[in-house]
Amino acid sequence: MFCEMCPRKCRVNRKKQLGFCKASHQVEIAKFYLHQWEEPCISGKYGSGTVFFSHCNLQCIYCQNYEISHEGKGVEISIEELKNIFLKLQKQKATNINLVTPTHYIFQIKEALIQAKKEGLTIPIVYNSSGYEEVKVLQELEGLIDIYLVDMKYFNDQYAMKYSKAPHYFQICRAAILEMYRQVGSIKMTKKIMKQGLIVRHLLLPGLKDDSKKILNYLYQTYKDNIIISIMNQYTPVPRVKNNKDLNRRISKEEYQEIIEYALSLGIENAYVQEEETALESFIPEFDLEEIKKDIYQSKDRI
């Protein structure tokens, strides 16, 4: 009854009041579609069947999906409707089901996945998370998740507090990733498409090269090439950081190259890197509530 879904442990009754993430007990989503811009082994030929959940247990000031993560833009749906969405995406030839920011809805998602699997859902399930997770809650998903796609944002807690209001982020994220790896193990691929395993994403932030190096070193020393590390340069300043002298710029070509060379010096082989132009592209999907209401309605009849 009292929410302890994430490390914040707000202990509110979400049927009556809201905690840090501002999510109620009712699932809200902002979009579902075939997403072509994930890592190649996730997107595949037809795209990853991505479901964007509203709200978030982090408060990253540079978040590109601010309107759904901070402002909670979205549409309430039932567990049955969520199940139908999973089945519809599979029918559309999605490479997988990609659950984006699912932390605060784990138990509802678990029920929808169990029902969907009983009705023929067979494609891999991707849990796409910020890494700020409660291990005991993640254990509820064992056997349901095939791929964990998780951020490791900060090594130094100072930055986690400054930019995401996330105390003890590295300690918590480290434990969560260990649990994720325990569940899914080493990478399994079929024709360059990931079927099982762990991808850890790290987004470079301006001025935090040393922090990034510590994260890469930790990941490689702990997991070697049994996981994929996705080293991302796509950070783009959003309007909310225009007055922040530290964050109001993109990553330079030289900064990114230094991090890539450091990764190579460690011996990292299983990694994704991004082209320079990715920072100039828009990775922000449109969240049209009228469109999603129509899509939800259609998903009931066309699975």
Beta-bridge mates of residue 32: 51
pLDDT digits (tens, 9 = 90+) for 261-303: 999 999 999 999 987 655 444 455 667 666 767 677 666 655 4
State the average pLDDT over residues 241-267.
95
State the average pLDDT over residues 214-222.
98
For residue 212, give the DSSP letter: H
For residue 220, give the DSSP letter: H
Beta-bridge mates of residue 34: 49
State the average pLDDT over residues 160-180.
98
Report the pLDDT value the prediction gives residue 278, as an integer from 0 to 100: 52
At 24, is the secondary structure helix, strand, or coil?
A: coil
Report the pLDDT value the prediction gives residue 72, as an integer from 0 to 100: 86
Indicate the fold that domain 28-301 takes in CATH.
Answer: TIM Barrel (3.20.20)
For residue 167, give the DSSP letter: T
Report the pLDDT value the prediction gives residue 282, as an integer from 0 to 100: 45
pLDDT digits (tens, 9 = 90+) for 2-12: 999 999 999 99
pLDDT digits (tens, 9 = 90+) for 72-88: 899 999 999 999 999 99
C-alpha–C-alpha distance, residues 131 and 182, integer Å = 15
Average pLDDT, the chain: 93
DSSP states along 254-290: HHHHHHHHHHHHHT--SEEE--GGGGGS-------HH
pLDDT digits (tens, 9 = 90+) for 118-136: 999 999 999 999 999 999 9
Residue 188: pLDDT band (50, 70, 90) is very high
**What residue spans of the chain are helical by DSSP H?**
40-43, 66-69, 79-91, 106-118, 135-138, 157-164, 169-184, 209-223, 253-266, 289-301
Compute φ and ψ for 132, nearest 5 degrees. -90, 80
